[in-house]
Amino acid sequence: MRVKDIPVLTITPGEPAGVGPECTIRLAHEHPELRLLAVADRQLLLSTAADLGFDVPVIPWQPGDDVSAGQLSCLESWVDTAPVPGQPDTTNARYVIDTIKTAVKLVRDGHGDALVTGPVHKGIINDAGIAFSGHTELLAELAGLKKVVMMLATGTFRVALVTTHLPLRDVPGAVTRDNVYNTILIVNRELQQRFGIHHPSIQVLGLNPHAGEGGHLGSEDLEVIEKAILDCNQDGIDATGPIPADTAFTPIRVAKYDATVAMYHDQGLPVIKHAGFGRAVNITLGLPFIRTSVDHGTALDIAGRSRADASSLYTAATTAQDMCRQVVQATEPQL
């Protein structure tokens, strides 16, 4: 892996009618020190650069070519319909999925060191007849895994999820002892291996108000979550809980832990997005490769207006770089 100097970051801009292409061009323009390999429609990137007035070299790339800093290398993939900013088209849904699948293969084949993804429009992909609940689930499928973990982070504030893109009514049934246990296990392992935290401290939220109020507001906290935490403790993992979600995110509590494990999407993510929107990064834990992503959506309302902010994409890129280098440090022999 070529990470002792500058890791190669394989990027998918995501929905072509959203801000992903603009953010990708802005990232290449504002940070020429990065080595970037985009899987995208090259003409879309060139026209986006022209609209922004940026002289970004978008260089055709094929396996075996170098990926140099100061340019945007591009493995060509073609949209089916010329995108209109702010107006996603279902005919381009297959293009979006194909760029992700191709980018994963590039990383797994060693052409890139990490995957960095732009925002996609789940509704448009589903309207096209493609079953898709999110990047996290697709990446798990591509890797042949039953369980991966979504974690958002801004600085040292990290929130991981037991369940991801589920209707709220389906959440309690998915909060099983095995699911909670495996989520904590993956978070603990990845904090050690990819963040260099030798003995992570993890707080685990309850499912019900007040973490079930001793069983008076639901039995899941005592019968499922607490038992999963005890299983983790027996394995030497420093996990604490279940903690009531309404007090878990006070500054004093957050500062005590390396990560928080929430039970469902809107229990944990609104807090971290409030704390660092635009500076947060979405990380998929448990994959056999590194994947980071932006913390925002397609922003169709500002697409094509030269108003997109690439801060989150830059945070995703630098986080991926740091994770690559941490893996190298962990695997290099000690002299």
* pLDDT score at 330: 54
Q: Report phi then psi at 25, rounded to 5.
A: -65, -45
Q: What is the DSSP letter of 71?
A: S
- Cα(265)–Cα(232) distance, rounded to whole angstroms? 22
Angle subtended by helix axes 93-108 and 135-143, to nearest 10? 50
State percent of the chain over pLDDT 70.
96
Is the four-CA dihedral 94, 96, 102, 105 of positive or negative sign?
negative
149-207 per-position pLDDT tens digit: 999 999 999 999 999 989 999 999 999 999 999 999 999 999 999 999 999 999 999 99
Query: What is the CATH class of 1-145+287-335?
Result: alpha beta
Please determine, for residue 139, whether its predicted confidence score (pLDDT) is greater than 70.
yes
Intervals of CATH 3.40.718.10 along the chain = 1-145+287-335, 147-279
Q: Report phi then psi at 69, rounded to 5.
A: -70, 160
263-320 per-position pLDDT tens digit: 999 999 999 999 988 788 999 999 999 999 998 999 999 999 999 999 999 999 999 9
- Cα(192)–Cα(264) distance, rounded to whole angstroms? 23
Do the strands 201-205 and 238-243 form a parallel or antiparallel pair, or are they unpaired?
A: parallel
Nearest Cα residue to 135 out of 117, 152, 153: 117
Query: What is the CATH class of 147-279?
Result: alpha beta
Q: For residue 333, name the pLDDT band (cuts at 50, 70, 90).
A: very low
- Cα(222)–Cα(256) distance, rounded to whole angstroms? 23
